[in-house]
Structure 1
């Protein structure tokens, strides 16, 4: 009789067996007897769960590149998409309750900072509706003092800034715009901001042509009653805009329901009723042969199990067929006859933000303008995250396996290396979004107005730009594609 396995050994087995059932590329995984889960067991109660998940993802090889689908360009020791979180470990954006996700996009004060190669600190963006926005802070401001301490070019100061923005309840900033210095006093209040629109406006061109501009930070859950997106699009319609620029440069994705609403606002009326996107799961999930998923209760946003007619609903009750996971356009408001949409993107543009572009491409011409924070850009590509997931709980572990990808009406959706921009310019933090000299907007307007493209290294005003920059106070996180609605095998829609 074989000895009973300890806790860590059982967890190790479960991580692999669940992957065999739900992982998007499960057909490339070895058999249960061919994968040595025991080598990840450090002791009876300790498991190297991150290394096991990483090794599992190495089997998923993209035949086009010959490399793993989950090769991470910035963190090669971690999977690009799949995530595993143990007790007490830092959670990802995807693991937070929705209301926490909304607040986390802007640290504590509604402000995101960058530091440039010449050690200057600028505001990268300010959240609409935050106390910072009400006080008049905006992107492009150079910061000279933070809580009384002058900006210094050393790691200790940057750690101090990160601590202030993650823990402090009071913030005093000395900022400069166009040579004018001001001091701003801010107080952290947990529920005073969450709006994802960074900037929106209608720009009238010298020819009289009107261009709608919208910078959108994150796809949130529409259950919150957020309606400003509809208002902006209706304003574009009322102003008879001929062209629309959607700025997704810092948009890491988010909720599919909000993506669908955004796509329905942008799509031409002629596409109404046609395919928007289709979710593809592995063949095991399509056939419903998922005994392990029947052990996973479906949890609502309150963290409690979901019941229907007194029956506990599990992830094994979900319909994973393509027919049951195809979404069709339902044109609502917004411009109804756009033929071309300009998207400003960066390597931070990921997940649902990329999917929005993909869904529109069969029906409207999309032009991608890349902005780079790395100084002189060659060709900017988006992050490349066409996969989504839902959380599974295995003992003390939360696991987000890559479970599905989305294809558009042309069957396209394999942009694992990102979407390449047609034109790339520097992302200059000295200029506010929607400001005419901001290089991304300037490039888009030049294309719209039929002018020559600007040189990739040229700053908008012809002056030298301050070099590359990096995020200072808030780490960049790319949430996966998250679902608010699930269809059961009997056709019932479950809202989470």
Structure 2
């Protein structure tokens, strides 16, 4: 079987594991249903989807016995396994006692799990977990008021950025076709953005039209910083601003975070604004690096975050993990002491999965941090806020695409992470662990609520005066709290907008290193 590595797009061969022979490892023998002597693999895969969950799922203690769940009911009379329905039903069983809703209730797309995901051979593939419209040409666009297309953002390092395209430009035509806000037109341009090799844009900037021609290049690497600048405040102080799109692949030895935060320190900024409005998460090692660069000197050596697994996994009794080899970013199995290591070799105790601050660079005197978020801010981006809350005073500014919405903005709410497990021809991403900060806090399953919410106007570039999120942050820094209540959106324009496509699953927290039970640290991103 060939799978596509969802983060790097590389192919690798992976053996198929049928675990009927280890059914008894998960429940008592009398819990295991008697099954007919069949050669069809789908019933065994159905069992496996549930049996893995009963061992490794973060809230496995709330799952029933396999005989009560009856996973084979998801196999049709024609032999087709409805694996998405099975995982969805599993994901809705664990109830959050604080809210009365399932932990994985998805308020944005109620028909799918909020965190867990499963991909079969006929799906587009696990790469859809992280794929965005911007990934092909470096440009993301939105529909404003169902009347016009605007550039939502341009990824730094892309040809689009080098050509001069920027957020706030209105798109007049795409590949020679004048913009029409119709279903047929949107379908056509989505195909161009997702599959095309050439993108020609006519963009209007301050009533001047300019043409841009972009070609798709395989293996493009885009830098995650959208904008950074130092702003002067009326009282003579300075504020640093950083818009950060995602926590990227650390193999690229990305240096700009050190440059930007070092520049903030050299400029003697008193406050920092981190713009995470479109940041859906990503690599935990890169998260740790940014947290270290922002943390005060007093945090050095103290707890940043703790990863917590369920009791069965922590105790090393989740025996099915030994059936899952660990693959590196190159798609090849990782060897140690002459054999392939598996997820059963990993130490999942909280002690070995605690990360401490190591303050060696960045800003060390920061006391106040202002974070701009949206409902799509998720995973590692939320965790950055949580990790720093015990050490900094943090104000959260929420931005919304819906002008006139009087509800306070909340982030996506994803304190959990996962790594891929393979069952038959499926890749399964169960919710496997959660992160808590030094105070043991991390239950933001309904998201982090903004202190003040404003309209996210795509006609304003990042870090530019007049952009509502930035202006709200500057008002808070200056002690001029916005005159609107926290639940009211300040409108930069009487309009609303929507993305052309919505990610079903924001990126999960991706681990770069694992600790084996013998104390050996192994990098999996090499």
Q: Give the TM-score normalised by structure 1.
A: 0.95
Residue aligning to 2:164: 136
Identify the match of residue 276 of structure 1 among 289, 304, 312: 304
Residue 205 of structure 1 and its aligned partner are, at CA, apart by 1.8
Residue aligning to 1:4: 37
1:132-171 matches, cutoff 5 A: 132-171=160-199
1:317 and 1:193, CA in 2 relative to 1: closer, same or farther beyond 3 A? closer
Q: Aligned-pair RMSD on alpha carbons?
A: 1.6
Distance 1:476 1:45 in 2: 27
1:105 and 1:246, CA in 2 relative to 1: closer, same or farther beyond 3 A? farther
Identify the match of residue 120 of structure 2 among 86, 89, 110: 86
Kindly indicate whether the alpha-carbon contact (under 8 Å) linking 1:9 and 1:44 is maintained by their aligned counterparts in 2. Answer: no
Distance 1:273 1:94 in 2: 37
1:15-414 matches, cutoff 5 A: 15-43=49-77, 45-93=79-127, 106-377=134-405, 378-414=407-443
Distance 1:105 1:153 in 2: 18
Per the alignment, in what secondary structure is the counterpart of residue 443 of structure 1? helix
Distance 1:250 1:180 in 2: 28
Distance 1:348 1:457 in 2: 17
Identify the match of residue 416 of structure 1 among 445, 464, 467: 445
Which residues of structure 1 form unaligned runs of 5+?
none
Residue aligning to 2:478: 449
Kindly indicate whether the alpha-carbon contact (under 8 Å) linking 1:122 and 1:429 is maintained by their aligned counterparts in 2. Answer: yes
1:368 and 1:206, CA in 2 relative to 1: closer, same or farther beyond 3 A? same
Which residues of structure 2 form unaligned runs of 5+?
1-33
Distance 1:451 1:488 in 2: 51
Residue 290 of structure 1 and its aligned partner are, at CA, apart by 1.8
Distance 2:364 2:133 in 1: 31
1:468-487 matches, cutoff 5 A: 468-472=496-500, 475=503, 477-487=505-515
1:474 and 1:148, CA in 2 relative to 1: closer, same or farther beyond 3 A? farther
Distance 1:481 1:457 in 2: 30
Per the alignment, in what secondary structure is the counterpart of residue 262 of structure 1? helix
Q: Give the TM-score normalised by structure 2.
A: 0.90
Kindly indicate whether the alpha-carbon contact (under 8 Å) linking 1:286 and 1:321 is maintained by their aligned counterparts in 2. Answer: yes
1:374 and 1:73, CA in 2 relative to 1: closer, same or farther beyond 3 A? same
Distance 2:372 2:247 in 1: 16
| Aligned length in residues | 486
Kindly indicate whether the alpha-carbon contact (under 8 Å) linking 1:131 and 1:192 is maintained by their aligned counterparts in 2. Answer: no
Distance 1:369 1:124 in 2: 19
Residue 3 of structure 1 and its aligned partner are, at CA, apart by 2.9
1:216 and 1:472, CA in 2 relative to 1: closer, same or farther beyond 3 A? same
Per the alignment, in what secondary structure is the counterpart of residue 187 of structure 2? helix
